[in-house]
């Protein structure tokens, strides 16, 4: 198996074709463009896939940290993980999983004085490269990316296939609980059966 390398998706225009090529023209990534959690319900309903693609491209062009990381194998993009400050994702803040967690999702002392919490919200792994370490490489890179931009903690919202055995690829785009636990994250809430809020404190 060829080793996987994961690096932050940068804002350089030359990197956009890698994201565009990975997401393709068919399937859920090409419809969502990783905007589901970044938009309110009305914003999602009123947008087209083309609109969402433009919005993600604009995030690459913005004077801000890149909105995610890419994984490469043999020099080709094979995976993507979205990671940004939590307040960039209004739908997360309004989600059932988040609301059910209650005070557990509030900023903690270890998050630092600014309460900087970043969220890992989505994984895209190309067919033929799943279950081969890509998601784990992406999560490591996402944590490193967040740390590099001042995160105090990194949060995720994975599915637990043990409690949701019928969960398929379309349900696991936020990652599995085991993936996050193996990376050192801890469960801060499992109030919704089969779902969890997990967090990794990264600020010393």
Sheet containing 117-125: order of strands: 5-8, 68-73, 76-85, 117-125, 153-156, 197-201, 186-189
Predicted confidence (pLDDT) per residue in 161-202, tens digit:
988 888 877 788 999 999 999 999 999 999 999 999 999 998
Predicted confidence (pLDDT) per residue in 60-119, tens digit:
888 888 899 998 888 888 999 999 999 999 999 899 998 898 888 876 656 655 558 999
Q: What domains can you pick out in the chain, each with its CATH number?
A: 5-201 (3.40.630.30)
Per-residue pLDDT, 14: 44
- DSSP one-letter code for 34: T
Phi, psi torsion values for 38, nearest 5 degrees: -85, -10
Give me the chain's average pLDDT, please.
87
Per-residue pLDDT, 133: 87
More confident residue, 175 or 14: 175
Per-residue pLDDT, 40: 92
**Using an 8 Å Cβ cutoff, are 200 and 187 in contact?**
no
Per-residue pLDDT, 128: 82
**Using an 8 Å Cβ cutoff, are 71 and 126 in contact?**
no
Instruction: Give the pLDDT band of residue 10 (cuts 50, 70, 90).
Output: very low
Per-residue pLDDT, 199: 95
140 pairs with which residues across the strands? Answer: none
Per-residue pLDDT, 168: 79
Instruction: Give the pLDDT band of residue 5 (cuts 50, 70, 90).
Output: low
**Using an 8 Å Cβ cutoff, are 154 and 180 in contact?**
no
In sign, the C-alpha dihedral spanning 124, 134, 159, 99 is negative
Predicted confidence (pLDDT) per residue in 119-132, tens digit:
999 999 988 888 88
Tell me the two tokens of residue 55. Answer: 């919005």
Per-residue pLDDT, 108: 67
**Using an 8 Å Cβ cutoff, are 164 and 178 in contact?**
no
């Amino acid at each position: 198996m060829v080793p996987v390398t994961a690096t932050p998706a940068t804002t350089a225009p030359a990197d956009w074709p890698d994201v565009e090529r990975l997401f393709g023209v068919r399937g859920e990534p090409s419809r969502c463009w990783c905007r589901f959690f970044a938009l309110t319900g009305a914003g999602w309903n009123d947008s087209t896939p083309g609109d969402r693609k433009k919005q993600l491209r604009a995030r690459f062009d913005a004077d801000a940290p890149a909105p995610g990381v890419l994984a490469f194998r043999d020099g080709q993009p094979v995976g993507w993980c979205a990671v940004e400050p939590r307040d960039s994702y209004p739908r997360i803040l309004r989600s059932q999983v988040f609301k059910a967690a209650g005070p557990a999702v509030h900023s903690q002392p270890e998050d630092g004085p600014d309460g900087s919490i970043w969220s890992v919200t989505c994984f895209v792994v190309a067919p033929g490269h799943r279950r081969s370490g890509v998601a784990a490489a992406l999560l490591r890179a996402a944590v490193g990316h967040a740390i590099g931009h001042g995160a105090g903690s990194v949060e995720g919202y994975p599915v637990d296939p043990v409690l949701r055995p019928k969960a398929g690829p379309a349900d696991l785009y936020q990652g599995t609980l085991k993936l996050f636990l193996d990376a050192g994250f801890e469960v801060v809430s499992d109030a919704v059966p089969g779902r969890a809020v997990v967090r990794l404190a990264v600020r010393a």
